Every structure is written in structure tokens, then in C-alpha cells.
Amino acid sequence: MKSIIKIAALLGLSFSIFSAGANEEVIRQVLSQSMPQLKIDSVQPAQIKGLYEVVAGAHIFYVSPDGKYLVQGKLIDVKARKDLTEEKLSGVRAKSIEQVGSDQMIIYKPEESKYTVSVFTDIDCGYCRKLHSEMDQYLAEGITIQYLFFPRAGKGSESYNKAVSVWCADDRNTALTEAKNGKTLDAKTCKNPVDAHMKLGEELGARGTPMLVLESGKVYPGYVPAKQLSKVLQNEAN
């Protein structure tokens, strides 16, 4: 999904048909007509009186009741020192990951799992390989790692083809470890979730790999050592 700024530009011509008494259904109808490819998940009054919050995939934006203005950015509760937009987005991300399903990911699980972290990975990414080389350390901390593919070079690239071959291997976990260690795998194709993983990564704002998504939906871009990640997860739990 492209930037909401671009969406706003595309929707600009249609905003004028909002009435001053615009409600959720009117907003939904107008956005659906002017931008049919935009999947609207919810429309509801925002915490600021007079604005409506629109959730579309992993994006949140706000519109004025007369339809003249669209606001993109963070809504902050100053007194509580709380980022209300990020709080809502975290829930959206968590739900999106959950909807993927464990059968559509490659999972490394400790004997006793305390936490689960979803990782968007690129087989040829240096820090992704570093993270994977320390898998035993993550497992020792009770962290389940569930992988989704995000080959940064895009569909049809060497990294993309490696991801497909890993998924189509008889033993995906072993094949992924071998691929990350630089071993050349037998090229294979089959029905796979790589494209779906990439689309989700883009919707969640992935700009690089690894990108870690906690169970809460919070995002940590980049490599995080096992001990440090464990402390983050402990703090979240408390």
C-alpha cells in the first residue's frame, strides 16, 4: 500500500461531496467509490472531537467531518504521554500477523516458549544471517521465532527464488539454515506464501530486514541480540 499522502491526493477530488454532518457510513461509501482498491477496515469517531479515524490495512488516518481535510500522522494524548495512533496500529499489526497462520510461517520453537516474535527476513541479508546464527540464544531465552519472507530485491530476484526453494524443501527449517549459511539449495517451486509475506511486510511498513514484530504489534527494525530482546519482552509482559 502506498503512502497515505498519495491516497489523500487521489481522494482529494471526492472529499468535497462530504456533507457537514458526514458520518461513518458516508465516509466509507465515498472512500470506497473514489478508491475501490483501498480496503477499509473501520471508520469511527477519533479521540479528537470532530475528526473521524479511518483504518485501512496497517494504516490509520483522520478526516474532518466536512471532508475538506485529511490528517496523516500521530495522535498524541499529551497529558497521558501516550501515542494513541501507535497504540492502535500495534493492535492492527498483531492481528495481521495472527491472520497469517502458523502453518504459513517457518517456526523455531524452544522447549518452553515464553514469547513469540515474528521476523521478516531476507536470506541474503547480513544481519538476518547474524540473527539466525544465534538462534540457539533466542531459544534459550524462551523466544519462539516465526519467520516471514521479505526478499528486499523483490519478486523474481535471487533472494526471492531462494525463499521459494526453502519453502518447497522437504525440511523447511533445515533448508532455511543451510541457505542462510550460504549453501546452494536445489531450486524448487510449489505453492508458497512468499508473495503474501512480502505484501504484508510492505503494509506493515518494512523498509529493511530483519524487521521484528512483537506479539503486541510493536515493531523493532533491525537486529536485536537475544539478551536485549528478552529484556524488551520481559518489560512488555510486566
Active-site residue (options: 93, 124, 129, 152): 152
The pTM score is: 0.81
Active-site residue (options: 128, 129, 136, 168): 128
Residue 128 annotated as catalytic:
yes
Active-site residue (options: 125, 129, 168, 172): 125
Dihedrals phi, psi of 213, to nearest 5 degrees? -120, 120
Residue 168 annotated as catalytic:
no
CATH at residue 58: 3.10.450.70
Burial label, 177 (beta-carbon count in 10 A; 0-12, 13-18, 19+): middle
Instruction: Give residue-wise pLDDT tens across range 68-85.
Output: 677 888 899 898 988 898
Sequential DSSP letters for 168-237: TSSSHHHHHHHHHTTPPPPP---S-SHHHHHHHHHHTT--SS-EEEETTS-EEES---HHHHHHHHHHHH
Q: What percent of the chain has pLDDT over 90?
A: 61
Which of 23-37, 78-92, 123-137, 162-176 shows the lowest per-residue confidence on average (mean pLDDT)?
A: 23-37
Q: What is the mean pLDDT of the chain?
A: 87
User: Domain residues for 136?
Assistant: 97-237
Look at the chain and report how many structural domains it folds into.
Answer: 2
> Quick one: 112 and 62 in the same domain?
no
CA 169 to chain centre: 26
pLDDT of residue 68: 63
Instruction: Give residue-wise pLDDT tens across range 17-36.
Output: 444 344 787 777 777 777 78
pLDDT of residue 39: 83
The answer to whether residue 90 sits within a structural domain is no
As given in the structure block, the three cell numbers for residue 18 are 462530504
Residue 152 annotated as catalytic:
yes
pLDDT of residue 66: 61
The answer to whether residue 172 sits within a structural domain is yes
Burial label, 25 (beta-carbon count in 10 A; 0-12, 13-18, 19+): exposed
> Quick one: 101 and 79 in the same domain?
no
pLDDT of residue 63: 80
pLDDT exceeds cutoff 60 at 119: yes
> Quick one: 117 and 225 in the same domain?
yes
